[in-house]
Amino acid sequence: MDILKDAEKIFKERHNQYGDFVPRFKKTALLYTALLGIKVAGSTICKLIILEKLSRSGHTYVKDNWLDIINYSLMGEILQKLEDQETKEKVKPIK
């Protein structure tokens, strides 16, 4: 099976298992923000997880690492778009 199809299957399984990822990653970002004392965005959480997956992949080939990287990249892209949209809505130019 194609790795993208495998990734899509896993994405759907995780959605059924854990629900919508957007509120979960926003919550995780708030937890990191509280822990570190700096603003952390949900998309940043995805980037951090991807770095861990890349670190693991340096040891030996495990397909699961690459499947996770695909899915965290997708989630990070969606989260960053939403974060940018929220920022633009908060800061409206004066006309």
Token pair recorded at residue 41: 């965005």
Say whether pLDDT at 93 is over 70: no
Tens digits of residue pLDDT in 38-48: 999 999 999 99
CB 77 within 8 A of CB 42: no
Q: Tell me the pLDDT band of 1, cut-offs 50, 70 and 90.
A: low
Q: What mean pLDDT value characterizes the chain?
A: 94
Say whether pLDDT at 83 is over 70: yes
Tens digits of residue pLDDT in 16-42: 999 999 999 999 999 999 999 999 999
Would the pTM count as exceeding 0.85?
yes
CA distance 48 to 68: 12
Say whether pLDDT at 95 is over 90: no
Q: Return all residues near 32 (Cβ < 8 A) that are at least 6 apart.
A: 40, 44, 45
What DSSP assignment string belongs to 61-86?
--HHHHHHHHHHHHHHHHHHHHHHHH
